[in-house]
Amino acid sequence: MAKVTRVELTSINTPRHNSITCGHILVQLHTDDDSLVGVGEMSDLQHLPRFHFDVPELEATLGEILVGLDALQLTEVERRLEANFPQAGYIYDKSRAIKCGVDIAFWDLAAKQLGVRVCDLLGGAVRDSVPIAYPIFRQQHEEDVERNLAMVERRLTEGFEFFRVYVGRRPDLDERFLRTARERFGDRITIKSLDFSNLLDAKAACNFAERVADVGFDLVEAPAPNHDVRGLVYARNRLPVPISEHVYGFRWALDLVAADAVDVFNVSVIAIGGITPARRIFAIAEAAGKSCLVGTTQELSVGTAAAAHVAMAMAPVTVPSDPVGPLLYTRDVVAEPVRYTGGRLHVPSGPGLGMRFDPELVKASAGPLTWAATSAAAVVDRQEVTR
Radius of gyration (C-alpha) of the chain in whole angstroms: 20
Structural domain harbouring 95: 4-116
Q: What is the pTM of this model?
A: 0.95
The pLDDT tens digits of the residues spanning 40-93 come to 999 999 887 888 899 999 999 999 999 999 999 999 999 999 999 998 888 778
Q: Domain boundary at 116, 149, 184, which?
A: 116
Q: Are 172 and 213 members of one domain?
A: yes
Together in a domain, 71 and 206: no
The reply to whether omega before 351 is within 30° of 0 (cis) is yes
Q: Is 299 helix (H, G, I), strand (E, B) or coil?
A: coil
pLDDT digits (tens, 9 = 90+) for 168-190: 999 999 999 999 999 999 999 99
Residue 173 near residue 202, CB atoms below 8 Å: no
CA 199 distance to own-chain centroid: 19
Catalytic residue list? 92, 166
Is residue 102 located within the same domain as residue 145? no
CATH of the domain at 106: 3.30.390.10
Same domain, residue pair 107 and 178:
no
Q: What is the pLDDT of residues 106-126, one digit of tens each?
A: 999 999 999 999 999 999 999
Please state, in angstroms and rounded to a whole number, the distance separating the CA atoms of residues 58 and 63: 8
Rounded Cα distance, 341 and 353, in Å: 19
Q: Beta-carbon neighbour count of residue 344 at 10 Å? A: 18
CATH number at residue 183: 3.20.20.120
Could you tell me if 203 and 195 are in contact, meaning their C-beta atoms sit under 8 angstroms apart?
A: no
